[in-house]
Structure 1
Amino acid sequence: MQLLPGDFVLMFDRTDTGPSNISLSPCSTTTTTVSPNSGAAAAATTTPDCTAHSILLDLHTNLLHPYPLATNPWCSSGALLPNGTLLQTGGFSSGDRVSRLFSLSTGWVELPSSLAARRWYASDVILPDGRVLVLGGRRQFNFEFFPHNSGDPTSPELTFFPFLEETMELDVENNLYPFLHLLPDGMVFVFANDRAVVFDPYNRAPLRRLPPVPGGVPRNYPSSGSSVLLPLQPEKPSHAEVLVCGGAPRGAYHLALRNGTFVAADRTCARISPTVDDDVGYSGETPAWVVEEMPVARVMGDMVLLPTGDVLIVNGAAAGTAGWELGRTPVTTPVMYSPEKMIGERFRSMASTTIPRMYHSSATLDTYGRVLVGGSNPHVGYVFTNVTYPTELSLEAFLPPYMDAKLDGVRPRIVAAPAEVGYGETTAVRFAVVGVSSGEVVGVGEVRVVAVAPAFATHSFGMNQRVVEMAVGRVVEMDVGVFEVEVAAPPTPGVAPPGYYLWFVVHDGVPSSAAWVRMRPLGPGA
C-alpha cells in the first residue's frame, strides 16, 4: 500500500494468481508465470486478463478505481519520488527487472530492464538528493540507484554490498526486505537478519558495524519482524534512534515448512541510536541495543508511525514465520509503543479486531490520522473457503485513541498551510480549534507541527516512513478560535528528504487531519 498526494491509496497484488474480484475494461494483456511453489511446472503464457490487480482508493469518496498492470510486482519495493510519483521496483518473473512509475495522470508506466539486477524482496530508500537506493533482494548482494549514476537508463550500475552475503542463511536467507533508514547525516542504516551497519551510499567508505541484537533472533523475511526510525526532534536534529520489533527464532522457518511445527514468535523490541551526535554528548562509545518486551510475541507485524510520535504495532501471528501456510495463532490485538516514556511503561494494548491479518497483510497511516489495515493471504492463490485463514480482501480503519469523538473540542483543523517549503525556511500554518473561546490562550507548548512521510508498506516494513517534528515559534490568535503558528521547516534533506509530507497540527496531544506539503529539492532541479 502507498498513500499518494491528493488522498489516494494505491494497492496492488501479484498478477499470476488468477482473476481478481474487480473487473477491468478494456482487458489488458498480461504475461503470467505459474510459480513453482504452486505445484505446477513454471510456464509463461500471455493471455488477456479482464480483472484488475491494482486499484486506487479515493479516501474522500471511498470509490475504487482499477488500473492495469503489465508485469508482475509480486514481492516488490517502492518509494515516493520528490515529484509525487510512486517509483515501484522489481517483482517476480516478468517484473523482476522492471521499474514502474505511477501517477494519477498517467497510471502505470513500465520501464523494462531498467534495473541492473532482478529485485525480488528488495528494499528502497529515498536519499537526500532525491534519488532512490534499491538494495538487496533474493540472492542479490548489491545495490543500485534510480535514476542511475550514468544518467543512461539502458546501463544501470551495480555496487557489491557484502553485508547481505554475510547475513544470508542457506535455504532460509532471513535477510530479505532489509530494513533501510536514512539517518539525518545522510548515511543509511541497514538491518539484516540480527545485525546492522551504517554506510555512506555515495562513497565506497568502510561500513560502520553495529553490534548484533542480543539473543540472535532473525528479524527479516521470512522471520519477519518490523522496524521504524523513531520521530526526529527539532532540538536535536542530528540524533536518530531505530526500533526493531518481533521476528522468529532461528530454525523456525524449516520447522514450520518441513514438519508443521510452529515455534513461538519473538516478543522483544530492540532500540539503538546509530548516529554520531555531538549535540547530545556522543563520546565515541560503541552504540548499544536496549531490549524491551512487547505484551505479546509477534511475527509479520506492521509498525506504523503516528503524528503523536507513538508507534502502532498491528497484524501478524504469534507462531511460525512468513511464507505459504507457515503462520499460526493470529495476533489480533494492536499494541501502542510510546518512545518518550520510561522503559516498562512504553507498551499499551489497544482494542482488538476480529479479522486475522497475517502473511501479505499491510498497514499505513492515512490523511485523517487513521491507520488503514488490509489484506492477508497465506495461500499460493486466492482461497476463500475450507481453510483456517481464508484470503482476506477487506480494508479496516484502526482509530487510535486520539480519534475519540470526546476529544473533538480540542482537535485542531488546518485552515491554511504552505503547498511547498524550502529547507530551514520559516512558514506559517493556520488552524482552528472549535473548543477554544475568544481570548483563550493557545500556547507554544500545547501546539506541535509534525511532518510525516507516507510509507510504501509491504511484508511488515513501511519503506521511507518518517516523522519529523518541526520547531514552532509564536502562536497568534487571528479570529475567534482561529490561530496561526510559526513553523521552521526541517533544516536539511538528511532530516527530511525532498518530496511530499503530511503536515499535522497537534494540539494538546490531539492531531488534526493532514495537509500535503512538499519539501522542495535542493539544486537546479528544484
Structure 2
Amino acid sequence: MVKFLLLAPTFFIFFPSVMTQTIPSSDGSQGRWRLLHANVGISAMHMQLMHDNKVVIFDRTDFGPSNISLPGGRCRIDPSDEALKIDCTAHSILYDIITDTYRPLMVQTDTWCSSGAVLPNGTLVQTGGFHDGDNVTRMYTSCPDDICDWVEYPNYLSRRRWYATNQILPDGRIIIIGGRREFSYEFFPRPSPRRQTFQLRLLIETREGNVENNLYPYVHLFPDGNLFIFANTRSILFDYNQNRVVREFPRIPGGDPRNYPSTGSSVLLPLDENEHSIDPEVLVCGGAPRGAYQQALRGTYVRAISTCGRLRITDQNASWVMDTMPIPRVMGDMLLLPTGDVIIINGGQSGTAGWELGRQAATRPVMYHPSNPSDQRFSVMEPSPRPRMYHSAAILLTDGRVLVGGGNPHIYYNFSDVFYPTDLSLETFSPPYLSTQYASIRPVILSVDDTVSPGQRFLLSFSVGEYIAGSVLSVRIVAPSFTTHSYSMNQRMVVLRIDEIIDNETSSSYTLSVVGPSSAEIAPPGYYLLYVVHSGIPSSGVWVRLQ
C-alpha cells in the first residue's frame, strides 16, 4: 500500500529559516580534518568541481617549475617567461574525488589571478591571467577516457582580465567584470567577431590608486535578472543589458574595504522557492582595514576585520545589518553548505593579501547560521594543522565535505625559512553533519531525474534509517563554485518546492514530488548538486542538469 502525505500550501516546514538551525551535536563534534595528499605537485590557487566528480586545480606558470612533471616529455615553451622559458612541469592538475587520484594537465599561458565559470553544457571557461595570459580564454571539457586537457584561445578577450570576476547569466552567457586597471565588462561568448567592452563606473569610482581595493568584485545574479555588484565599500544593482545602475545601496558600515587586497568574502544566501516572495540577501564577511596593505608593506600587520554585513536587497530602505565573527579574518573563503549554513575557512587574522603580507593564520573554520538569533549565528570548528594563507582555496564536494588546498604567499615556491611555507597538500574538512552519530537520520537518494526543467515537477526517491515524523525536510540544488582569492564565483543555492511526500512503506523509502526552479534568473541552466536534507542532516549530492 502506498500512503500519500499531502502538504497544505500554508504548511511552511521547508523554509531555510528553519533548516539553517544549528545542527544538534550531543558529542560536541566540531568537524573533522583529513589529509588526502601531502604533495599533489602544485599549490591550489584556483579550484572548480566538475560534474564528473573531478576537480580542476591550477596555480600560475610564471614562477618556475612545480613539483609534478608533464607526461610524455611535453614541455611549455614561453620565450617571454621571466622565470623559466622551457618548463616541463605542470601547473594544473585534475583531481578525482572518487578514486582519490590526480593527473597533470597542460596549461600554456599564465593563469595567475584569473577567473572562471561553467557553461550550461558543463565546460569550464577560464579567463584572463597575467602577462601572456591576460587576454586569453581557456576551456576544459570533461571526457570519459580521461585524456582531455586545456584548450586555449589567445587574444579572445577584449581587455586585460587580471583579478576579474565571472558570473553565469540566465541565457547561459558569462559576464566578465573588472580586473586590475580595467573598469569595464564583456561577455563570453562575444556577440560578434568584434571584441566589445562596456564601461562600469562603479569600478572607476571605487579604485584607490595603486591599491585598488575593488579587485575581484563580488557579483551575484538576483531573481529579477539584475546583478548585485560590490566593490570596495559600495554596492549597486546593475542592469547589464542596458548598462545602467538600477539602484545604489548604502556603503557597508565601518568604511573599510572588503575586496582584494583587503580580501573579505561574500555569498548570496539561499533562495527559497517555498516563500511567497523571494527576498534575496547578500552576506559579506571579513577583510582588512583601510590602509592595512601599506602598513603591511612596512612590517605592521593590522588586525583583520571581524564583522559581517548582511543586506536584504528588496527592502525599500535596504540597510546593512552587522554581525561580529568570533575570529577576525582576512583571505577567508565562504562556502554555502547543503544545510544552508555558511562555512568561513582559511585565511589570517592580521595583514592583507599579497606577497608575505598576512600573519596569524586563522586555522579554525567558523560556521554562520543565517536563521539563528544574532547572538547565536556563529560556531567555531576544529582547527586544521595546516595554515592556509594567501593563494589558498576551498570548494564544496559532492558528499558534503569541503576540499581545501593551496597557500603560497611567495613569488616562487618556498618551503623553508619563511612564516608560511608553500603548501602543496590537499585536505578535507567534514562538517558536523557528517558525524557518524547522524547515520540513522541521514537520507540516501535512491533515484532522481538527471535533467530538471524550470517550473516542471519531477520525482525523487530517498531512504532514511529513521524518519522523524514532522521533521523538517527540504530539497536543495547547489551550483558548484569557481574559487580563487577568497571568492567563490557562481555559487548558488535554491531550496526547491516540494508538492507531495509519498510514503512507499517499503525499506524506509519515500518519494517526493518536487518542482524545478521557477526561472533561469532563480537558477541559470547548467549542472547542479541536488541534496535532500532531513532534520538538519544532508544526503550526499547527486548531479542534475537544469535545462
TM-score by length of 2: 0.88
- Within the alignment, does 1:177 sit opposite 2:216 as a pair? yes
Aligned to 1:278: none
Distance 1:207 1:485 in 2: 39
- Within the alignment, does 1:398 sit opposite 2:398 as a pair? no
Q: Deviations over 1:110-144 (max 9, x none)?
A: 11111000100000001111100000000000000
The one-letter amino acid paired with 1:241 is E
Distance 1:404 1:238 in 2: 32
- Within the alignment, does 1:2 sit opposite 2:48 as a pair? yes
Residue aligned with 1:202, SS: coil
Match among 506, 514, 520 for residue 487 of structure 1: 514
CA contact (8 A) 2:63 2:84 kept: no
Aligned to 1:72: 110
- Cα deviation for residue 446 of structure 1 reads 3.0
- Within the alignment, does 1:518 sit opposite 2:529 as a pair? no
Percent identity between the two aligned chains:
51
Residue aligned with 2:383, SS: coil
Match among 188, 198, 207 for residue 168 of structure 1: 207
Distance 1:204 1:458 in 2: 27
Residue aligned with 2:440, SS: coil
Distance 1:245 1:20 in 2: 33
Aligned to 1:95: 133
The one-letter amino acid paired with 2:420 is Y
Aligned to 1:470: 496
- Within the alignment, does 1:311 sit opposite 2:342 as a pair? yes
Match among 120, 133, 147 for residue 162 of structure 2: 120
The one-letter amino acid paired with 2:271 is L
User: Mapping of 1:137-152 within 5 angstroms?
Assistant: 137-150=179-192, 152=193
Q: Deviations over 1:230-249 (max 9, x none)?
A: 01111335320000000111
The one-letter amino acid paired with 2:308 is C
CA contact (8 A) 1:16 1:33 kept: no
Distance 1:502 1:287 in 2: 31
- Cα deviation for residue 107 of structure 1 reads 1.7
CA contact (8 A) 1:475 1:486 kept: yes
Match among 357, 364, 373 for residue 326 of structure 1: 357
CA contact (8 A) 1:30 1:71 kept: no
- Cα deviation for residue 387 of structure 1 reads 1.3
Match among 227, 232, 237 for residue 266 of structure 2: 227
Aligned to 2:529: 502
Distance 1:31 1:212 in 2: 44
CA contact (8 A) 2:237 2:245 kept: no
Distance 1:28 1:190 in 2: 40
User: Mapping of 1:368-407 within 5 angstroms?
Assistant: 368-407=399-438
Residue aligned with 1:107, SS: coil
The 3 A distance-change label for structure 1 pair 185 and 295 is: same
- Cα deviation for residue 30 of structure 1 reads 3.5
The 3 A distance-change label for structure 1 pair 442 and 3 is: farther
Aligned to 2:394: 363
Aligned to 1:37: none
Distance 2:287 2:217 in 1: 13
Aligned to 2:296: 256
Q: Which region of structure 1 is more displaced relative to structure 2, 100-109 or 296-305?
A: 100-109
- Cα deviation for residue 498 of structure 1 reads 0.7
Aligned to 2:57: 11
Could you list the runs of 5+ residues in structure 1 that have no partner in the other structure? 35-42, 276-281, 521-526
Match among 187, 190, 197 for residue 226 of structure 2: 187
- Cα deviation for residue 60 of structure 1 reads 0.7
Distance 1:486 1:267 in 2: 42
Q: Which region of structure 1 is more displaced relative to structure 2, 467-476 or 264-273?
A: 467-476
- Within the alignment, does 1:205 sit opposite 2:252 as a pair? no
Residue aligned with 2:116, SS: strand
Aligned to 1:336: 367
Distance 1:388 1:293 in 2: 28
Distance 1:234 1:113 in 2: 41
The 3 A distance-change label for structure 1 pair 50 and 217 is: same
Aligned to 2:463: 432
Match among 160, 164, 173 for residue 131 of structure 1: 173
Aligned to 2:483: 457
The one-letter amino acid paired with 2:391 is H
- Cα deviation for residue 173 of structure 1 reads 0.4
- Cα deviation for residue 434 of structure 1 reads 2.7
Q: Which region of structure 1 is more displaced relative to structure 2, 199-208 or 445-454?
A: 199-208
Distance 1:449 1:205 in 2: 36
Higher relative CO (Cα under 8 Å, sequence separation at least 6) belongs to: 2
Distance 1:288 1:235 in 2: 25
The one-letter amino acid paired with 1:20 is S
CA contact (8 A) 2:62 2:83 kept: no
Distance 1:97 1:286 in 2: 40
CA contact (8 A) 1:225 1:245 kept: yes
Distance 1:298 1:239 in 2: 28
CA contact (8 A) 2:117 2:126 kept: yes
Aligned to 1:38: none
CA contact (8 A) 2:136 2:153 kept: yes
Distance 2:357 2:66 in 1: 24
CA contact (8 A) 2:274 2:495 kept: no
- Cα deviation for residue 29 of structure 1 reads 2.4
Distance 1:32 1:456 in 2: 30
Q: Deviations over 1:275-310 (max 9, x none)?
A: 3xxxxxx5xx32100111000110000001001000
Q: Deviations over 1:78-133 (max 9, x none)?
A: 00110000010000111100001101234211111110001000000011111000
CA RMSD of aligned residues (A): 1.3
Aligned to 1:40: none
- Within the alignment, does 1:110 sit opposite 2:152 as a pair? yes
Distance 1:159 1:274 in 2: 25
Aligned to 1:61: 99
Kindly tell me the number of residue pairs found equivalent between the two proteins: 494
TM-score by length of 1: 0.92
Distance 1:197 1:333 in 2: 32
Match among 430, 451, 463 for residue 420 of structure 1: 451
The one-letter amino acid paired with 1:210 is F
